Structure 1
């Protein structure tokens, strides 16, 4: 069983327009609202992979009610802490003329000390019934950047496996609490280490350096180039590359990779099995126009055609 934590949920609204120009009145051709947030994306993929998963975090106002209704329709188990503030909306303006996407991301509601304490009490009790906890994305206002470090420690004290997928200070502080696995992308790893990663050797060295900071496994996601993984358990570094595909939608592919790793860890697969599966799930996600729209047949096909390298660091 897997618990997907999404502290800063949102309604993701895709606005389709023609010839978008800042400072002018623009009529929207189509609006597509969906329940969003990295943790929700992870949960959707896990659901599609037939894994038992539940979602938690903060929800508030009319936007929060919309998200809960969507999850009910998708038969997705959830148990949110309800707050006084309004759950955020995030806008993606899609210009059909230029194919340029412009994103406007709200910060999220302000979380009071009492609301945070309620969540921490709920989380501490809930993690006991799960095998794997995924922690994804940002946090709303009012919550310190050490929140993931706290959540990791709570889960580890309950002997649970924890996956962290975040950035900035959340990642810098969270990684020090020794999560089971962290999944930065290349730019997040560069920011954390303070240098550019220009080639395969740089990425392999970076993954091992990040392992030395505390996590058991580091997986640096590389888009079409797959993932670079280092492990403190095997003392080896792996690079898995998916076969060439024609992506339809790359939104949420990193979240799909987290879901793949979570499924593998929950089923106690070997590290190499987890890596292959996570890469295949991420690639399969790119083949679907719907975020999280995984087709299991595609996952198996991709695994069978994957290029897998085992790199040994001296």
Structure 2
């Protein structure tokens, strides 16, 4: 197994150090340089950790969101979390939280994302968040560090937070851009969850065939992760636990509206399955892929219908690529 957590009925804490107001515009037949009207749009509290929290909440998993938020966008982020019934404890910043815009063209399946860098945080704000996190971790069984960080903080800040979570023997998850992920790997997280592009950057080579994904998983575990998963744009995902068991999952074909946030939905399903429902690797991979597929059916990250996610989970094709699952009951297994 990759790691043990204590009472898995406890809270999963999600950390979003660069939260955003995320807006998705659906624009059929988009042509740059022309005027268009968007027949559909969605505005949500965003940032990867916030997205994961929304997905966990949809699956009825106890969750608490924390991070930085400031200005009018910060107020809107708090309102969005409240509307989604997600408990939160965000450190107020002087700088205005960023805005992210995604333009989705359902006619040709193309989506364009424009993400602001986000505000800098003061030394005092950074120290306050570190102090706040120490308090919140007392109530958590797992901590998810997801997304980018304020532009004036270096990767050492995130790594130090991962270290603190590991010192408390919490199940720690990192899903961040490659530079941050590389630094966090040295802190020995329980699980890392990059997409294919990010994993290729960390591993140092392109994944051209299925065996390359397995090598990528091995590389990230050599660098410090206890377990790893990789998601691909084609709906494939690969998961390896610390016993060396590798599971491949292929999500069913759906009518995609937007895949923005599908990786976050996948992680929500995976954590909800492993840590809350105590599913085995195969069933957790099914649930994760089902959540990712359901997410792609509507605009906005992690707005999936949990019943639809369960339905699609039953259609996920799963294969054990290496190792073997333990003979003990699936309900006793953690990743």
TM (normalized to structure 1)?
0.90
Evaluate the alpha carbon distance shift between residue 279 and residue 36 of structure 1 in structure 2; reply closer, same or farther with a 3 A threshold.
same
Q: Residue 282 of structure 1 is aligned with which of 292, 297, 303?
A: 292
Q: Distance in 1 between matches of 2:225 and 2:183?
A: 12
In the alignment, is the contact (CA less than 8 A) between 1:132 and 1:265 conserved in 2?
no
Q: Distance in 2 between matches of 1:126 and 1:170?
A: 22
CA RMSD in angstroms comes to 2.3
Higher relative contact order, structure no. (Cα contacts within 8 Å, ≥ 6 residues apart): 2
User: Which residue does the alignment assign to 1:75?
Assistant: 85
User: Which residue does the alignment assign to 1:236?
Assistant: 245
Q: Distance in 2 between matches of 1:97 and 1:299?
A: 24
User: Which residue does the alignment assign to 1:250?
Assistant: 259
1:14-45: per-residue Cα shift (whole Å, max 9, x none)? 356676545x8x57657643222111111111
Q: Distance in 2 between matches of 1:215 and 1:123?
A: 22
User: Which residue does the alignment assign to 1:58?
Assistant: 68
Q: Distance in 2 between matches of 1:142 and 1:135?
A: 18
Q: Distance in 1 between matches of 2:321 and 2:105?
A: 42
User: Which residue does the alignment assign to 1:174?
Assistant: 184
Of 288-297 and 61-70, deviating more is 288-297
Evaluate the alpha carbon distance shift between residue 116 and residue 14 of structure 1 in structure 2; reply closer, same or farther with a 3 A threshold.
same
Q: Distance in 2 between matches of 1:305 and 1:273?
A: 11
> Superposition pairs for residues 194-205 of structure 1, below 5 Å?
194-205=204-215
**Partner-residue secondary structure (3-state), 2:244:** coil
For this pair of structures, how many residues does the alignment match?
Answer: 310
TM (normalized to structure 2)?
0.85
In the alignment, is the contact (CA less than 8 A) between 1:4 and 1:40 conserved in 2?
yes
1:223-281: per-residue Cα shift (whole Å, max 9, x none)? 3332111222x222221112222223311110001111221332243333322221222
In the alignment, is the contact (CA less than 8 A) between 2:99 and 2:116 conserved in 1?
yes
